[in-house]
Amino acid sequence: MKFLIINGPNINMLGLREPGIYGSQNYAALESLVRETCAAEGIEAEIFQSNHEGAIVDKIQQAYGHYHGIVINPAAYTHTSIAILDSLKAVAIPAVEVHISDVRQREGFRQVSYAGQACAKTIMGQGIEGYRLGILWLKGYVEGLEG
């Protein structure tokens, strides 16, 4: 099984500021958690981070036919990007949305998720542990689809 893990803008800055919202672990720790989780589950993983909406759309398009699942934290693009939503719908690869913080408890502008509308599940407010939960859930979901 092959998963693509996508992180949007500023996720690479984790741990530098706002530990009360995003925790104190940095992006390298997030990458390690994803790699270790996938290795333990026998999942081949590619981790991708970009600050650019079009680069994320390109990456989702290129995933078509190559990945069984996508774990995506589109970061701020969650709340603005119909392009990322459309690309997830276009490739129709099973996807899980992850947010480190609990966006439901935050500002009004974070209350909409476009990408989430193309995802089978959303995990939020669990810190970077949410990526592990998302990977495990998606593995079970994909296995269920394959029968």
Angstrom distance (rounded) from CA 128 to CA 88: 22
Residue range at the interface with ligand CA2 (CB under 6 A); choices 5-13, 33-41, 61-69, 82-90: 5-13
- The residue annotated as part of the active site, out of 22, 67, 77, 114, is 22
Angstrom distance (rounded) from CA 75 to CA 100: 9
Positive/negative CA dihedral, 9, 12, 17, 21: positive
- CB-based contact 2:44 (threshold 8 Å): yes
Residue 99 bears catalytic tag: yes
Residue 68 bears catalytic tag: no
- Structure tokens that stand for 68 in this block: 């069984």
| Least gap, CB of 86 to ligand CA2 (angstroms) | 19
- The residue annotated as part of the active site, out of 67, 79, 99, 131, is 99
**Binding to ligand CA2, residues 55-114 (CB under 6 A):** 73, 75-76, 78, 99-101, 103, 110
Which residue lies nearer to ligand CA2 by CB, 68 or 79?
A: 79
Residues with catalytic function:
22, 99
